[in-house]
Structures are given as C-alpha cells and as structure tokens.
Amino acid sequence: MANFYCEYCGKKYSNVKSLTGAPCYRHPNGANKGKHKLYEGSEKTKYTCKYCGTLYPSLISMTGAPCYRHPNGANKGRHSPAL
C-alpha cells in the first residue's frame, strides 16, 4: 500500500483524504493554521531541498530544519522537498 506524506511536516498517512483533512503543525502560515499538504513526489531514500540542495534521509528531518536559501530570507522558513 502506498504512503502519502505532508510536504510541510513529513507526517505519513495511508490516504490523501485524512492527510488533507488534518491540521499541520508546520504549516507556512503558522502551526495548525492550515491543513497538511500532499507531497506529490515519490518516496525516496534521500530527499533534496528545492531551495538549497541539502540532502535529508526523510521528509520529517528536512522540514524540521531552517533553510538558509529560503525565498523569504535566510532561515526564514524550512527546507522544502523537490519532487
């Protein structure tokens, strides 16, 4: 069975319906200010940040760390996975 991940926090769900129905504690608008967003890329052994290129072994560890090349300014946001 496929797994679905949130692009903002890396939380894993078994279906898209429950993913997009639950509040996200790492939503860009603020903690729980919006719902999880489906990560539309495939499951990988390593994920690349689309802003800075740093590699992470999981979406949870990537989205928990600030990105020094974030478009809003250095460390003004977290890494975001490339598809």
Among 5, 8, 39, 47, binds Zn ion (CB under 5 A): 8
Torsion of CA 19, 25, 28, 30, to 10 degrees: 130
Among 5, 47, 49, 81, binds Zn ion (CB under 5 A): 49
Q: Which is nearer to Zn ion, 2 or 63 (CB)?
A: 63
Residue 13 CB coordination number (10 Å): 17
Q: Which two tokens stand for residue 37?
A: 């967003």
Among 5, 9, 39, 81, binds Zn ion (CB under 5 A): 9
Q: Which two tokens stand for residue 67?
A: 């990105």
Residues at the contact surface with Zn ion, assessed by CB under 5 A? 6, 8-9, 24, 36, 49, 51-52, 67, 79
